[in-house]
Amino acid sequence: MNWCPRDETAIAEAEVVHIERQGLLYYMKFGNDDNSLEIASTRPELLGACVAIAVHPEDTRYSKRVGTSTIVPVFGQKIPVIADEEVDPTFGTGAVMVCTFGDKMDVKWQKKHGLPVIKEITENGRIDTSDPRFKGLKIEEARRKVVEELKKAGRILREEPVKQNIGTCWRCNTPVEIISRPQWFMKTKQMTDEVTASADQLRWVPPFSKKRLIDWTQSLDWDWVVSRQRIFGTPIPVWYCKKCGETLVADENHLPSDPRRDPPPREKCPKCGSSDLKGDTDVFDTWMDSSISAAVHAGWPSDKALFVKLFPADLQPNGLDIVRTWDYYLLVRSLAIFHKAPYKTLLINGMVRGTDGRMMHKSYGNFVETGEVIKKLGADAFRQWAASGGATGYDIPFRWNEAEHGKKFLTKLWNIARFITQDSTTGANAPKLTQPSTIDRWLLGSLQELITTVTNAFDNFQFNTAIEAVRDFTWHSLADDYLEAVKYRLQPDNDPADSRNARFCLTQSLLVICKLLAPICPHITEAIYQEMQEVRERRSIHSDGWPEPDKSFQDNVQMQEGKLLVEAIATARRKKSEKGLSLKSPIRRVIIRTQPSHLGMFEANQEPILRTIKAESLAVEETPSSEEGTTGLTVEIVP
Ligand SMILES: [Zn+2]
Ligand SMILES: [Zn+2]
Length of the chain: 639
Ligand 1: centre distance to CA 277 (Å): 31
Ligand 1: centre distance to CA 176 (Å): 8
- Looking at the 3D structure of the chain, how many domains does it have? 4
Q: Is 509 helix (H, G, I), strand (E, B) or coil?
A: helix
**Tens-digit pLDDT profile for residues 260-278:** 999 999 999 999 999 999 9
| Distance separating alpha carbons of residues 478 and 517, to the nearest angstrom | 15
Give which of 480, 502, 539, 538 is closest to 424, Cα–Cα: 502
For a pLDDT cut of 70, what percent of the chain falls above it?
98
Q: Is residue 452 part of a domain?
A: yes
pTM of the model: 0.83
Helix axes 556-578 and 606-613, enclosed angle (nearest 10)? 30
Q: Is residue 380 part of a domain?
A: no
Q: Does the pLDDT at position 102 exceed 80?
A: yes
| Distance separating alpha carbons of residues 421 and 418, to the nearest angstrom | 5
Q: What b/e string do you get for 531-565 counting C-beta neighbours within 10 Å, with b at 16 or more?
A: bbebbeeeeebeeeeebebeeebbeeebbebbbbb
Residue pair 12/169 in contact by the 8 Å Cβ criterion: no
Same-domain check for residues 44 and 123: yes
The values of phi and psi at residue 240, to 5°, are -120, 145
Q: Does the pLDDT at position 626 exceed 70?
A: no
Looking at residue 624, its pLDDT comes to 77
Same-domain check for residues 452 and 413: yes
The CATH number covering residue 157 comes to 3.90.740.10
Cβ neighbours for 70, distance < 8 A, ≥ 6 positions apart = 30, 31, 35, 36, 37, 53, 78, 79, 81
Q: Predicted confidence band at 433 (pLDDT cuts at 50, 70, 90)?
A: confident
**Tens-digit pLDDT profile for residues 577-616:** 999 998 889 999 999 999 888 999 999 999 999 999 999 9
Helix axes 328-338 and 192-201, enclosed angle (nearest 10)? 110
Q: Is residue 254 part of a domain?
A: no
Q: Is residue 417 part of a domain?
A: yes
**Tens-digit pLDDT profile for residues 188-206:** 999 999 999 999 999 999 9
Give which of 480, 466, 471 is closest to 519, Cα–Cα: 466
Q: What residue numbers bound the domain in which 547 lies?
A: 403-553
The CATH number covering residue 343 comes to 3.40.50.620
Query: Rg of the chain over CA atoms, in angstroms?
Result: 37
Share the mean pLDDT of the chain. Answer: 93
Alpha carbon of residue 136 to chain centroid: 44
Same-domain check for residues 152 and 190: no
Looking at residue 390, its pLDDT comes to 82
The values of phi and psi at residue 22, to 5°, are -85, 125
> Which region among 208-222, 413-427, 515-529, 539-553 has the lowest average model confidence (pLDDT)?
413-427
Domain-ending residue, one of 129, 149, 178: 178
Mean pLDDT to the nearest integer, 440-461: 97
**DSSP secondary structure letters along 361-397:** -GGGT----HHHHHHHH-HHHHHHHHHHSSSTTS-EE
Q: Predicted confidence band at 429 (pLDDT cuts at 50, 70, 90)?
A: low
| Distance separating alpha carbons of residues 153 and 148, to the nearest angstrom | 9
Looking at residue 426, its pLDDT comes to 57
Q: Predicted confidence band at 494 (pLDDT cuts at 50, 70, 90)?
A: confident
Total Cβ atoms within 10 A of residue 466 = 25
| Distance separating alpha carbons of residues 349 and 391, to the nearest angstrom | 9
Considering every ligand atom shown, identify the ligand nearest to the alpha carbon of residue 169 and give its number: 1
Same-domain check for residues 338 and 425: no
Please name the helix (run of DSSP H) or strand (run of DSSP E) that holds residue 609, with its range, or none. helix 606-613
Ligand 1: centre distance to CA 245 (Å): 30
**Tens-digit pLDDT profile for residues 54-80:** 999 999 999 999 999 999 999 999 999
Looking at residue 365, its pLDDT comes to 86
Ligand 1: centre distance to CA 14 (Å): 13
Q: Is-cis flag, bond preceding 301, omega within 30?
A: yes
Same-domain check for residues 50 and 99: yes
**Tens-digit pLDDT profile for residues 125-181:** 999 988 999 999 999 999 999 999 999 999 999 999 999 999 999 999 999 999 988
Q: Is residue 372 part of a domain?
A: no
Looking at residue 427, its pLDDT comes to 61
Ligand 2: centre distance to CA 181 (Å): 20
Residues at Cβ < 5 Å from ligand 1 ion: 4, 6-7, 169, 171-172, 174
Considering every ligand atom shown, identify the ligand nearest to the alpha carbon of residue 125 and give its number: 1
Ligand 1: centre distance to CA 597 (Å): 77
Q: Is residue 64 part of a domain?
A: yes
Cβ neighbours for 271, distance < 8 A, ≥ 6 positions apart = 241, 244, 246
Looking at residue 123, its pLDDT comes to 92
Same-domain check for residues 161 and 199: no
Same-domain check for residues 207 and 167: no
Ligand 1: centre distance to CA 2 (Å): 11
What contacts 24+ positions apart, CB below 8 Å, involve 457-462?
Answer: 458/519, 460/205, 461/205, 461/347, 461/392, 462/391, 462/392
Ligand 1: centre distance to CA 132 (Å): 28
Ligand 2: centre distance to CA 48 (Å): 35
Same-domain check for residues 327 and 419: no
Same-domain check for residues 198 and 314: yes
Q: Predicted confidence band at 361 (pLDDT cuts at 50, 70, 90)?
A: confident
**Tens-digit pLDDT profile for residues 383-407:** 999 999 888 889 999 999 999 999 9
Q: Is residue 228 part of a domain?
A: yes
Burial degree of 477 (CB within 10 A; 0-12, 13-18, 19+): buried
Mean pLDDT to the nearest integer, 377-385: 96
Same-domain check for residues 545 and 602: no
Please list the residues that pair with 30 across neighbouring strands: 37
- How many Cα atoms sit within 13 Å of 133 on the Cβ side? 13
Q: Is residue 345 part of a domain?
A: yes
Same-domain check for residues 118 and 222: no
Same-domain check for residues 154 and 225: no
Domain-ending residue, one of 553, 587, 610: 553
Helices (H), 263-366: 286-290, 293-297, 304-310, 328-338
Strands of 78-83's sheet in order across? 69-71, 78-83, 50-55, 95-99
Ligand 1: centre distance to CA 439 (Å): 67
